[in-house]
Amino acid sequence: MTTEVTQAFADSIHERSILTVIHDHRPIGADLPLMIAGGVTAKVYQITLDVDVDAGYEPSKDRTEGWLRLATRGMETALREIEAHQGDCILARTAGDIWDAKRDGRVAILLGAEGARWLEGALEPLQLFHRLGLRELQLTWAFPNPLVPDGHLSPFGQEVVAECERLGILVDLTHISRNAFYEVIDLARQPVIVSHGAAQSVTTDLDDDRIRALASTGGVLGVHFYTTYLGPSPSPEDVFQQIDYIANLVGIDHVALGVDFFAIEGAWRDLQVAQGTTDLRWAVKDMSEMHQITRCLVAHGYSEEDIGKVLGGNFWSRRQQ
């Protein structure tokens, strides 16, 4: 096939797929036009993070109070944005909602939380936020919290994992310590995910054993698009290399698109610099360019069925609740 024919074929697959970005921080309203332009059906928007972005990295490190208040503000903001743009998006609580959004030409927004400091040692906030729409919980971020205070899953952490499974909240093991990773794997009775990461054998992050353990639960690894994970000047080809490696290691059913977009100015940039990162680039510049990933997969000979799995099918098949 010529390049033009290949691109046209890829774009037709892209249009039919339910493309889902399984980890994202960019404001919902501002991102909707880019998602629509890029054929993105859904994203998991993080209502909160285990750091006070405005206060900064160091001041957040040892703070033990105010996290539930911060998360509540994030939840309220997300719900207001979804309501204000209900002509273009919906709050997705189930996989069926994602299908409905695709049918109606709208964008589905799922809600997640990156870290669990906001639980403040109790299950009641988790139950309340689930009623409001929370469907994914990353257990830890960069700092210890009551779930993983010392590199191991605490008794409270075990309760949270069990309650997430009871409620139908996906457990996310991104950024968790190695010991706690395996402790959750042993405890889990439902698929768990790593929403944004990479294969260590290709660039950095997860070794093969942890990817195999993740896949053993039926879970998925969402490929990170960021320079810290893919290396300098990341490209769609770098994303493909990750997808291909993981698919060959554990099977095509265990790969998704993590992406992890966030703001690159102001407090968000300061947060990255505080962690030692100054090269704020992704494999594509924003949601409007996600078709480049599909074109790359087609160019490498992936079938439409497998492309559909990577673009979103593997994730929403875990979201049947």
CB 287 within 8 A of CB 38: yes
Q: Could you read off the pLDDT of 39-48 as tens digits, one per residue?
A: 999 999 999 9
Residue 118 is assigned to a structural domain of this protein: yes
Q: Could you read off the pLDDT of 214-255 as tens digits, one per residue?
A: 999 999 999 999 999 999 999 999 999 999 999 999 999 999
pLDDT-derived band at 188 (thresholds 50, 70, 90) equals very high
Number of domains in the chain: 1
Q: Could you read off the pLDDT of 47-78 as tens digits, one per residue?
A: 999 999 999 999 999 999 999 999 999 999 99
Residue 1 is assigned to a structural domain of this protein: no
CB 126 within 8 A of CB 146: no
Residue 3 is assigned to a structural domain of this protein: no
Q: What is the pLDDT of residue 5?
A: 74
Residues in contact with 124: Cβ distance below 8 Å, sequence separation at least 6, in sequence order? none
Q: What is the pLDDT of residue 316?
A: 86
Q: Could you read off the pLDDT of 86-125 as tens digits, one per residue?
A: 999 999 999 999 999 999 999 999 999 999 999 999 999 9
Residue 277 is assigned to a structural domain of this protein: yes
Helix axes 208-216, 236-250, angle to 10 degrees: 60
Residue 120: give the domain boundaries.
9-316
CA distance to 32, 255, 316, 319, per residue, from 309 (Å): 23, 8, 9, 14
Residue 321 is assigned to a structural domain of this protein: no
Q: Could you read off the pLDDT of 257-306 as tens digits, one per residue?
A: 999 999 999 999 999 999 999 899 999 999 999 999 999 999 999 999 99
Q: What is the pLDDT of residue 6?
A: 85
Residue 4 is assigned to a structural domain of this protein: no
Q: Could you read off the pLDDT of 172-185 as tens digits, one per residue?
A: 999 999 999 999 99
CB atoms within 10 A of CB 264: 12
- State the chain's mean pLDDT as an integer: 96
pLDDT-derived band at 319 (thresholds 50, 70, 90) equals low
CATH code of the domain containing 285: 3.20.20.140
Residue 110 is assigned to a structural domain of this protein: yes
pLDDT-derived band at 1 (thresholds 50, 70, 90) equals low
Residue 235 is assigned to a structural domain of this protein: yes
CA distance to 50, 117, 184, 274, per residue, from 71 (Å): 9, 9, 24, 22
Instruction: Record the pTM.
Output: 0.96
Alpha helices in the chain (DSSP H): 3-16, 28-37, 57-60, 67-84, 95-104, 124-132, 155-167, 178-187, 208-216, 227-230, 236-250, 266-274, 291-299, 304-308, 314-316
Is the per-residue pLDDT at 3 higher than 90?
A: no
Q: What is the pLDDT of residue 4?
A: 78
Using CA atoms, how far apart are residues 174 and 60, in angstroms rounded to an integer? 19
